[in-house]
Chain A
Amino acid sequence: DTEVTQTPKHLVMGMTNKKSLKCEQHMGHRAMYWYKQKAKKPPELMFVYSYEKLSINESVPSRFSPECPNSSLLNLHLHALQPEDSALYLCASSQETGVYTQYFGPGTRLTVL
C-alpha cells in the first residue's frame, strides 16, 4: 500500500483566516514533505520532516507553519495568507530521507481570497 491521504481536497480562505491542511500515511515512512505547486509548474519543496523533526525549511514565510505530531501525520497550519499563496499543496512521504522514492498524496487545492 503506497497511499498518502490529504484533507481537505479543496479549501477557500480569506486573508485573515486560520486553517490547517492534514496529511497522513501508514506505510511506516519516517520522512514527510510539503510541496507547493502553482499551475503548470513543477512542485517546489517547502518543508522536510525526518523522524518527526523539521530538517529542511526552504525559506518559507512564517505564515506557513508545519507540524509533525507523530510519524504518520503531518499538518500545515496557515495564517494570514496572501492571494499569491493560492496553489496546490502536495504532501509526500518516503522511507527515509536520502535516496528513496517519494509517494505523493492527491493534494489540497487552496484558494486565498
Chain B
Amino acid sequence: AQTVTQSQPEMSVQEAETVTLSCTYDTSENNYYLFWYKQPPSRQMILVIRQEAYKQQNATENRFSVNFQKAAKSFSLKISDSQLGDTAMYFCAFTYNNNDMRFGAGTRLTVKP
C-alpha cells in the first residue's frame, strides 16, 4: 500500500525567509510522480511542483524547489523568499496510477509580515 506522511501539521516563516516542508512516502512502485499542491483559503488546489521518480535532478519552479531522495523516500519542498501569498495548506501527493492518488495530511504554512 502507498502512504504519504507529512509530519509537520503547522509551520510559520517570516516574510522573505526560507522554509522547508517535509514529506515521506512508502511504495514498492518504481515509476511514480510526486507533487506538492497548495490550497490557500480560497480553497483551490494549485499545483506547485512535480517530480518524476525516474528523474534524478530535483525539480524547481521559481522560488519553489524540492529535495527528492528516492532511496530514502523523502520529498521535501523548499520555499525561498517567502511571500504573504504563500500562506496556505500544502499537501504532498503521490501517484503511480491516477486511479489511486494519495495525499498527506497537509502542512499549514503561515507567512508572517
Contact = CB atoms under 8 A, between A and B. Distances in A.
B103 interface: yes
Interface in B8-58: 31-33, 35, 37, 42-47, 50, 52
B105 A98 contact: no
B75 interface: no
Size band of the interface chain A makes with B = 20 to 34
B98 A48 contact: yes
Contacts, number: 63
Nearest to B42: A106
Contact of B45 (A56, A100, A104): A104
A104 B98 contact: no
B101 A105 contact: no
A100 B96 CA distance: 9
Contacts of A74: none
A42 B106 CA distance: 7
B95 A99 contact: yes
Contacts of A64: none
Interface of B: 31-33, 35, 37, 42-47, 50, 52, 89, 91, 95-101, 103-106
Interface of A: 2, 31, 33, 40-43, 45, 48, 55-56, 88, 90, 92, 94, 96-107, 109
